[in-house]
Amino acid sequence: MADIKLAIAPIGWTNDDLPELGGQIPFEQCVSEMALSGYSGSEVGNKYPKDPDILNKALKLRGLTICNAWFSSFLGSKPLAEVEKEFIAHRDFLHAVGARVIGAAEQSNSIQGKLLPVFDAKPRFTKEEWKRVSEGLNRLGELASERGMRLTYHHHMGTAVQTAEEIDTLMEMTQPGLCDLLYDTGHLVFSGEDHLAVLDKWMPRIAHVHLKDVRPAVVAKAKKEKWSFLQAVKAGAFTVPGDGTIDFTPVFDKLKKARYKGWWVVEAEQDPALANPLEYAMKARSYIREEAGL
């Protein structure tokens, strides 16, 4: 278990995509409550200081480390040179604050932030887009490896890499070690996929893990009433491990058996006015301690 480290994402405190959720909660409260809850790592939110020295000082005071940060790639719609420039700036910032993983997700045709039905309006890549995106990700992976970092791809609701089949295609079209997988339980279950089958199939390529639980009744309503992804989030589709219906014990057991090395990140975008961030962070921490012995 020494090879596994536990982090939590700031999105339970303040949501970058929905500023009205937690907009009043300052960065200092967020990271202080992460540390108080027993986590050793954090991903990066929009309120985090952009100066590595300032961020590192705030984290060190609380015994925290940055483990990863989301990168929006536009490989299907922007010139590769432009994406590379943005990626290098992102990579160098992350490296300066201690992260060795970069989580990318292709946003060229994403609807995750749009008021479109997350299931019915789901985008799909053309053959040419698959080629451009996969080749571009391999290139970004080369740039990450120059700094001893690892590029992971974050499959996500409302994007063209959401389903198990799409994850298979991406993994088959990209090079191991250059583009690996950010495995997210919540997005797979929300999408209706067998999250354990994906875990088994791509275990050697999994380099970062998001532990997110789901409230199926909210997901079913989102599907029936044709909600957008963010409408579903606001209504409480996601929650922390131990508060929804996913049994995480097989996930934990499989990762440990495979000798996974890296971060497990608790992530649950919720309305902090309805789900107190400190309370839910502590709830998840207790659950993982009991079920995984971590």
Domain span including residue 36 = 4-292
One digit per residue, the tens of pLDDT, for the chain of length 294 reads 679 999 999 999 988 777 777 678 999 999 999 999 999 999 999 899 999 999 999 999 999 999 999 999 999 999 999 999 999 999 999 999 999 999 999 999 999 999 999 999 999 999 999 999 999 999 999 999 999 999 999 999 999 999 999 999 999 999 999 999 999 999 999 999 999 999 999 999 999 999 999 999 999 999 999 999 999 999 999 999 999 999 999 999 999 999 999 999 999 888 888 999 999 999 999 999 999 999
> What pLDDT is attached to residue 1?
66
Which residue from 246, 238, 239, 163 is spatially nearest to 201, judged by alpha carbons? Answer: 163
Burial class of 32 by CB neighbour count within 10 A (0 to 12, 13 to 18, 19+):
middle
- Rounded CA-CA distance 164/288 in Å is 26
The structural domain count of the chain equals 1
- Rounded CA-CA distance 12/27 in Å is 12
Which residue from 105, 187, 198 is spatially nearest to 154, judged by alpha carbons? Answer: 105
Q: Taking the model in full, what pTM does it have?
A: 0.96
Which residue from 77, 152, 147, 159 is spatially nearest to 111, judged by alpha carbons? Answer: 159
CA distances to 73, 100, 105, 250, 290 from 259, in Å: 30, 18, 26, 14, 19
CA distances to 32, 125, 170, 194, 238 from 165, in Å: 40, 12, 9, 11, 23
Q: Which CATH number do you get for residue 202? A: 3.20.20.150
